[in-house]
């Protein structure tokens, strides 16, 4: 049985290939900067967009053609979709995947039955993982779709909803363990608010922290060897999402003593919604040793919401790979395509085109970033720009020897600061363009 009869296994054919169902840059075994592309990039397919996306939008229902979606018994469909998913990922040659509990398995009549259905799905996923060698990058719980989460999950005004969410995350952690997942993600969902007239902000933050502490406790209790990741996003669905960007999350984690237990899962479209570039968010996270994993996608420059498009912008992928290379790699994280095909791209083969383009954009970005890193011109420029800190008064300040008094004495004697040098932004942008090929 095949679900994609017209699509062969996707092969690397080199930059000159005109075959749209081939990689032009992603060559998994090719070594770049001392490591294979496969090990650098650690691509993952996400279950929710790729296998559950229908193309629905606020103006019309889904119109995606998915011949295997026959309707009827939802659990039977969940089981069939596993075969679809693993055929797709095998043909694409992607080593990892990610899920929410409710994308892989639907609802039973109550929590107990819902969990029993999930157990059956997880058992089949485990067999498929063993058969194909595809691994779980991360699991997470959907704490935002069901009406019970209308006011949030751990930040709900309803304590019972907090308890339900805790039970759901407990189960999702256990399933992640069963499938050998190496990370577990907490994206805020509806943790945030629309209006402060009805919201006790401080109490909600306290509850969110309590929830995460309990999650850490349970992870340790069951011996789940997974890195916990917070995924920042500033708005959507709520106007003010609590985990708005990496800096806000850092402040939150530190305030509540959680900073050693978490890293970040950064998403390109969330960075831009926050008014940042992904380059900024990743550099910030890497600076504090908090770069965990990536949700790879992009927004639309002209649209103000989370469009979750597939990443194709080489400047962005190059900048991202530059941060990753300089940070020494993604560690146990990966590049998860949290991205969906456009509603107009409704055929199954479009799922392949989308992922091939994203994988190639990162592979090319990796090669470009590696060339930039190897030449060292950017690093050298930055080093020289800060040279005044390496000796003299700069070194005194950095080592903590200086005070306002010694600095005043220094400047009174000197009379004025040394002249500034140019930032040379345009020269550097031109220089980066030389590598863009
Ligand atoms: C939504 C988020 C979501 C997380 C997982 O905007 O990106 O898909 O990655 O809950
Ligand atoms: Ni995401
Ligand atoms: Ni998103």
Residue 168: predicted pLDDT: 98
Tokens of 143: 């704490």
| pLDDT, tens digit, 9 for 90 and up, residues 117-163 | 999 999 999 999 999 999 999 999 999 999 999 999 999 999 999 99
Give the residue whose CA is nearest to atom 7 of ligand 1: 338
- What number is the average pLDDT over the span 249-263? 98
- Cβ neighbours of residue 157 closer than 8 Å, sequence gap 6 or more: 151, 200
User: With a 6 A CB cut-off, is 25 part of the ligand 1 pocket?
Assistant: no
Share of the chain above pLDDT 70, in %: 100
Are 147 and 158 in contact by the 8 Å Cβ rule? The answer is no
Is the CB of residue 231 below 6 angstroms from any atom belonging to ligand 1? yes
Bridge partners for 165 per DSSP = none
Q: 231, 281, 337: which to mutate for ligand 1, most atoms within 8 A of CB?
A: 231
For ligand 1, atom 8, which residue shows the shortest CA distance?
338
**pLDDT band at residue 69 under the 50/70/90 scheme:** very high
pLDDT digits (tens, 9 = 90+) for 257-294: 999 999 999 999 999 999 999 999 999 999 999 999 99
292 C-alpha vs ligand 3 centroid, how far in Å?
Answer: 16
Q: Does 304 have pLDDT greater than 90?
A: no
Q: Residue 258's Cα: distance from chain center in Å?
A: 20
Of the pLDDT bands very low, low, confident and very high (cuts 50, 70, 90), residue 437 is confident
Pocket of ligand 1 contains residue 341 by CB under 6 Å: no
Torsion, Cα of 358, 363, 364, 369 (10° steps)? 120
Q: Using pLDDT thresholds of 50, 70 and 90, give the confidence band for residue 306.
A: confident
Query: How many CA atoms lie less than 13 Å away from 104 in the CB half-sphere?
Result: 32
User: Rounded to an integer, what is the distance from CA 352 to the centroid of its chain?
Assistant: 20
Cα distance between residue 351 and residue 336, in whole Å: 14
Torsion angle in degrees (nearest 10) through CA of 350, 356, 359, 360 = -130
Query: Which secondary-structure segment (H or E) carries 363?
Result: helix 348-375
Residue spans per domain, the chain: 25-375, 379-435
Nearest residue (by CA) to ligand 1, atom 4, is 187
Residue pLDDT, tens place only, 353-410 = 999 999 999 999 999 999 999 999 999 999 999 999 999 999 999 999 999 999 999 9
Q: State the alpha helices, DSSP H only, in 133-200.
A: 159-178
| 375 in catalytic set | no
- Tell me the HSE value of 396 on the side-chain side, using a 13 A CA sphere: 9
Determine the Cα–Cα distance for residues 278 and 267; give it in Å rounded to an integer.
7
Residues lining ion ligand 3 (Cβ < 5 A) are 306
140 close to ligand 1 (CB < 6 Angstrom): yes
Of all protein residues, the one whose alpha carbon is nearest to atom 5 of ligand 1 is 187
Distance 122 CA to ligand 2 centre (A): 22
Residue 144 CA: nearest ligand 1 atom is 10
Assigned CATH topology for domain 25-375: TIM Barrel (3.20.20)
Joined tokens for residue 36: 């294979």
Distance 128 CA to ligand 1 centre (A): 24
Asked whether 295 lines ligand 1 (CB < 6 A), one says yes
Interaxial angle between packed helices 246-255 and 201-222, expressed in degrees from 0 to 180 and rounded to the nearest 10: 80
pLDDT tens for each residue of 155-172:
999 999 999 999 999 999
Instruction: Give 192-243 pLDDT, tens digit per residue.
Output: 999 999 999 999 999 999 999 999 999 999 999 999 999 999 999 999 999 9
Beta-strand relationship, 227-231 and 262-267? parallel
Catalytic one of 78, 103, 295, 306:
103
How close is the Cα of 290 to the center of ligand 1, in Å?
18
Question: Three-state DSSP class for 154?
Answer: coil
CA–CA distance, 106 with 77 (Å, rounded to integer): 10
Residue 305 has pLDDT above 90, yes or no: no
Active site annotation includes 350: no
How far apart are the C-alpha atoms of 149 and 162, rounded to whole Å?
9
CB 319 within 8 A of CB 278: yes
**Ligand 1 contacts CB of residue 338 (under 6 A):** yes
420: confidence class by pLDDT, cuts 50, 70, 90 = very high
Answer yes or no: is the C-beta of 87 below 6 A from any ligand 1 atom: no
């Amino acid at each position: 049985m095949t679900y994609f009869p017209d699509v062969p296994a996707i092969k690397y054919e080199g930059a000159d290939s005109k075959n749209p169902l081939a990689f032009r840059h992603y060559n998994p075994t090719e070594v770049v900067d001392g490591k294979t592309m496969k090990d650098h990039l650690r691509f993952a397919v996400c279950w929710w967009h790729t296998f559950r996306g229908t193309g629905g939008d606020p103006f019309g229902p889904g119109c995606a053609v998915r011949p295997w979606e026959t309707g009827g018994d939802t659990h039977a469909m969940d089981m069939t979709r596993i075969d679809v998913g693993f055929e797709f990922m095998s043909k694409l040659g992607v080593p990892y995947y990610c899920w929410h509990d409710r994308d892989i398995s639907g609802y039973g009549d109550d929590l107990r039955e819902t969990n029993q259905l999930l157990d059956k799905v997880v058992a089949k996923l485990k067999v498929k993982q063993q058969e194909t060698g595809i691994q779980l990058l991360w699991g997470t719980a959907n704490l935002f779709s069901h009406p019970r989460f209308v006011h949030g999950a751990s930040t709900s005004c309803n304590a019972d909803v907090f308890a339900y969410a805790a039970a759901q995350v407990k189960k999702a952690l256990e399933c992640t363990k069963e499938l050998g997942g190496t990370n577990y993600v907490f994206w805020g969902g509806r943790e945030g608010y629309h209006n402060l007239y009805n919201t006790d902000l401080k109490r909600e933050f306290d509850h969110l922290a309590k929830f995460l502490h309990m999650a850490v406790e349970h992870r340790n209790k069951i011996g789940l060897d997974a890195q916990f990741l917070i995924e920042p996003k500033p708005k959507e669905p709520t106007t003010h999402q609590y985990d708005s960007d990496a800096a806000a999350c850092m402040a939150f984690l530190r305030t509540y003593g959680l900073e050693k237990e978490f890293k970040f899962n950064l998403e390109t479209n969330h960075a831009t919604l926050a008014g940042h570039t992904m380059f900024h968010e990743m550099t910030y996270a890497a600076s504090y040793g908090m770069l965990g994993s990536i949700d790879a996608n992009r927004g639309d420059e002209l649209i103000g919401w989370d469009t979750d498009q597939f990443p194709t912008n080489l400047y962005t992928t190059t900048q991202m790979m530059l941060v990753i290379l300089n940070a020494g790699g993604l560690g146990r994280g990966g590049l998860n395509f949290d991205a969906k095909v456009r509603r107009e791209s409704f055929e199954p083969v479009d799922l392949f085109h989308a992922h091939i383009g994203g994988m190639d954009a990162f592979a090319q970005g990796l090669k470009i970033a590696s060339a930039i890193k190897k030449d060292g011109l950017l690093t050298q420029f930055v080093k020289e720009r800060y040279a005044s800190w390496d000796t003299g008064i700069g070194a005194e300040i950095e080592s903590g020897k200086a005070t306002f008094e010694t600095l005043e004495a220094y400047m009174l004697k000197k009379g004025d600061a040394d002249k500034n040098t140019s930032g040379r932004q345009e020269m550097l942008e031109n220089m980066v363009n030389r590598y863009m090929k």
